[in-house]
Chain A
Amino acid sequence: MNDLINDLYQEIILDHGREPRNYGECDPHNKSADGHNPLCGDNLKLTFFLNDQNIIEDIKFTGEGCAISLASASLMTEKLKGKKIEVAEEIFKDFTNLISGKDEDLKVLNEEDSLYALKGVGGFPMRVKCATMAWHAFNQALKD
């Protein structure tokens, strides 16, 4: 099998794509945003609860999309749950660098992280948007 395809679809991606974690809506939540990829129609709704110490106490998503977008949203929620917002923002920056091939600049993520599995998306420029949709929704929710 082609290396590029194996890099793109690592076992963990296929697993999270088939069975996304933290799928649903947070109750209660105080932050939310919709993600949408107008080029393909994929979409998601992200909700989370930010407590008074600025910690993401719970985070969930619903939506429909390809394995990459679902797995990316699923892995994101796993990674961000329990994180302080400042740390979450650092992770967001690292993730953006990771999939645009600038992984030498990473500050908080390392190769042990499950998010690293999405690095292969960089080999498919048209799929980068699939992987970043959930993260842009997260970023948007913070701004709102």
Chain B
Amino acid sequence: MQKCKLRGKILSTRTVNMDNSKTLNLNVRKDFPILSKKILEKKDLIYFDTAASAQKPNTVINETNDFYKNHYSNVSRGVHTLSVESTFRYEDARKKVQKFLNARSENEIIFTKSATEGINLVAQTFYEKFMQKGDEVILSLIEHHSNLIPWFFLRDKYGVVLKFANIQPSGEIDIDHFDSLFTNKTKIVSLTHLSNVFGTELNEKAISICKDKNVPILLDGCQSAAHLKTDVQKLGCDFFVFSGHKTYGPAGIGVLYGTENLLSEMPPYQGGGGMIGDVSLEGASYAELPAKYEAGTPPLVEAHGLGIAIDYMNKIGLDNIIAHENEITKYAFNKLNEIDFIEIHGGDNKRNSIISFNIKNVHSHEVSSFLDVEGIAIRAGHHCCQPLMKHLGVNSTARLSFGVYNSLEEVDKFVIALHKCKEFFNK
């Protein structure tokens, strides 16, 4: 009797757990209108390209609409009602981002048009204040082009030396090699927080090495912001960038977090309205943080949309989102790992929401086009990581990436389609 009860209890607990996971999934899917789209008029959309850009929930779509319909004007300019309403929304979004990243102050949150712009801003202004010809920047082989080219500019224009940390077969940075790259000329380090190819998280040792050597570090959080919990104070990074569109918000808005010390010392990036203190024909003084770095009319509606996207993630709970994505990622990894014609890039270590792979002897373009007509969206190509592709010895890879709206059932459908794909191209 007791045994039965116990068994019954265990079973029911299990069922409840499964239901929870399913409920989370089902309720969330209803929030994303695009998921009811039929691809080529008949196939259900399976969206496995969140790492390129995430889909938008109804709240983000409706709230940005509402901003234009009912509250829109320029920010921080006029004194009329609409200007007040717009400014309130824009600055409220900044508060939400501050809490989301656990920054010390709103002054540390700069709105940009993209994560890319954030990295360019740091590269240019940090160089201007703290660097000269011959100084060194440390990057790594797994960086995407956004975290390479802004630094290439410094190399080409000013003679800055760039050094690249190697990666291990697991897809992680080789920490010993990274450590060996430092010299007394190393002025700044810039690394991805979560690899957009391997889905591997940065080893926190890399940050502590920078702290020990007193070298500022920028973390590229494009992939991590919506898929890991970010606490910039705990992480101990000096700069952190991410984009709105990869975190369920609009495109055209990005965030740069920087410590108030550094942001205060670095010069403004662009000149224009909004970033000034006082202007005469002889010169100008500059605004305090954060306005100092926000020249021109900012993407105010997009910033509000990002704030709403953060509300959305908070409502579901970032922990729940991460647990859900981890479950799917692990499930997909195990499924793919069982298939002999699939080659997974990176090791068996933990991945967050991203898996890169190839079907042996089939180009990733073929895989992506084939899956497309099955309604499945994946990324194929070099993922803006050409140096890494060269290192891996491949021309391109196919990439699966997951978001809050994906399900295990979708992975099963994907695996069936992969087998069909392999059969088709090897017939």
Contact = CB atoms under 8 A, between A and B. Distances in A.
A64 B373 contact: no
Interface stretch (A4-12, A97-105, A107-115): A4-12
A65 interface: yes
Interface stretch (A37-45, A75-83, A87-95, A134-142): A37-45
Interface stretch (B74-82, B147-155, B171-179, B362-370): B362-370
Nearest to B380: A40
Of listed A8, A14, A66, A124, residue having the most chain B CB within 10 A? A66
A66 B424 contact: no
B382 A40 contact: yes
Interface in B257-280: none
A43 to B, nearest CB: 8
Contacts of B380: 40
How many A residues are at the interface, by size bracket? 10 to 19
A1 B424 contact: yes
B23 interface: no
Contact of B396 (A8, A9, A41, A127): A41
Contacts of A124: 369, 372
How many B residues are at the interface, by size bracket? 20 to 34
A130 B381 CA distance: 12
A129 to B, nearest CB: 10
A67 interface: yes
Nearest to A121: B369
Nearest to B421: A5
B386 interface: yes
Contacts of A53: none
Contacts of A65: 363, 395
Contacts of A9: 366, 424-425
A62 B374 CA distance: 32
A68 interface: yes
Of listed B365, B381, B386, B389, residue having the most chain A CB within 10 A? B365
B425 A66 contact: no
B40 A4 contact: yes
A4 B380 CA distance: 19
B386 A5 contact: no
B381 A127 contact: no
Contact of A40 (B365, B370, B373, B374): B365
Contacts of A64: 395
A40 B384 CA distance: 8
B119 to A, nearest CB: 20
Interface in B368-397: 369-370, 372-374, 380-382, 386, 389, 395-396
B425 A41 contact: no
Nearest to B367: A66
Contact of B373 (A5, A39, A41, A42): A5
Contact of B365 (A4, A14, A66): A66
17 contacts: A2-B373, A39-B381, A40-B380, A40-B396, A41-B381, A41-B395, A42-B395, A42-B396, A65-B363, A65-B395, A66-B363, A66-B364, A66-B365, A66-B366, A124-B369, A124-B372, A127-B369
Interface of A: 1-2, 4-5, 8-9, 14, 39-42, 64-68, 124, 127, 130
